[in-house]
Amino acid sequence: MTVAEGGKTAGTRLESFLRAVGYPERAPVGSATFTLRVDGMEVLLEESRGRLVLSCKLTDDAQSLPALATYAAGRILREDAALSWGDGAFLWQEVPAGSGDGGMLRAFEAFMDSCDWWRARVDERKKGDSVEMSEAVIMP
């Protein structure tokens, strides 16, 4: 097993995070990734270069990206999660380094709230509903 930054072995930060958020399963020893299943969503937890990153795929529909992107600037002002495009549209958020149990739990809860908000926008687009926003949308 290799030692990551901060003197912790691979997987230790994952285990700390899972314990802090009360997740019932454990990550395999030495693993750098773990998939959490929460509220019907898969959330990937990755440890890389001493940091933890949460990510959740929102959609594979490339045509929905321009519409989703119109919300991104306004949302980045409200939350730490960011919309990105790779293998589909996904939301990601870094868990601040040195977060204690309380900080990890708050970061996870905030990320899940963000996922819920973005998933609602994706679902509205799938249904063809017009999206009525009470929030300001910042247009580039």
Render each residue's pLDDT in the chain as its tens digit; 140 residues: 233 344 455 568 899 999 999 999 999 888 999 999 998 999 999 998 888 999 999 999 888 888 898 888 888 888 999 999 988 899 999 998 788 999 999 999 999 999 999 999 998 888 875 544 445 555 44
- Assess if residue 139 is contained within a domain: no
Which region, left, alpha or beta, applies to residue 50 given φ > 0 means left and ψ of -120 to 50 means alpha?
left
- Assess if residue 137 is contained within a domain: no
Range of the domain at 51: 5-127
Contact 21, 104 (CB under 8 A): yes
Contact 125, 67 (CB under 8 A): yes
- Assess if residue 140 is contained within a domain: no
Q: What is the pTM of this model?
A: 0.82
Domains identified in the chain, total number: 1
Q: What is the DSSP letter of 54?
A: E
Contact 71, 137 (CB under 8 A): yes
